[in-house]
Amino acid sequence: MTDPFDLSGKVALVTGASRGLGEGMALALARAGAACVLVSRSAKDLKTVAERVEGLGRRALVVPANVTDVKSVEAMAAKAVERFGRVDILVNNAGVNVRKPATDFTEADWDQVLDVNLKGAFFTTLAVGRGMLRRKSGRIINICSLTSAIGIRHIPAYAASKGGLLSLTRALAVEWAPHGITVNAIGPGYFITEMTQPLFEDPERRAWIESRIPLGRPGQPADLGGAVVFLASDASSYVTGQILFVDGGWTAG
């Protein structure tokens, strides 16, 4: 029998792939057999990840791009197609956060978070998705958040962007299902990454976070591997418009 989780011969494009969750998911996709297009603002930051992908025996392409710039995104998609002929799997992972009380937010704070997390995901999906629509095949995976479903203080723009990304996931899932494309989301809980490191360095904040997680620990980037491979593979061919929370049980409590 064919392994439904096997991604051999597939091409995956991961934004925000230079570190943290993006790096972890890119490596998981490579282990499952996929070639990887690795995207972030800096090519230098992607070099180590590309070497790790190639060390797994997979091809890697580094493409620096700014997901808030539509022309940059379109050029990124064109480079991926030029190298590999197509993109089968898109993981919209690029994201930023600004932590402060809502009353301290500036217009620039708001625009920065929404532009990267929501606008960037939409226009990246369009740039890559046009090829999927022509081929009538593709997997799109948006990286949402706990805050797609629950409220957490001091991150109003991030919460708005991730709630919007979940709604976008469902809208495109319905629109593109007739074209053989599935669109799903992953909702990570609290993971230890460079972005969240300040939270875990605060003993009081870390204790609060861990007290809310039934499994008793924050996530590590490798913990997303199974979810992203599942949603990228034939194993999830009848799953679309859904969010899979990978949160140690937080949203179940």
CB contact at 8 A, 126 and 168: no
Tell me, what amino acid is at 215? Answer: L
DSSP 15-28: ESTTSHHHHHHHHH
Q: Sort residue 211 into left (φ over 0), alpha (ψ -120 to 50) or beta.
A: alpha
Q: Which of 84, 122, 123, 158 is catalytic?
A: 158
Helix (H, G, I), strand (E, B) or coil at 197: helix
Q: Which residue has the tokens 């203080």?
A: 153
158 flagged as catalytic: yes
- Scored b (16 or more CB within 10 A) or e, 223-252 reads bbbebbbbbbbeebeeebbbbbbbbbebee
Q: How far is CA 94 from CA 14, 77, 175, in A?
A: 8, 15, 23
Residues assigned a catalytic role = 158
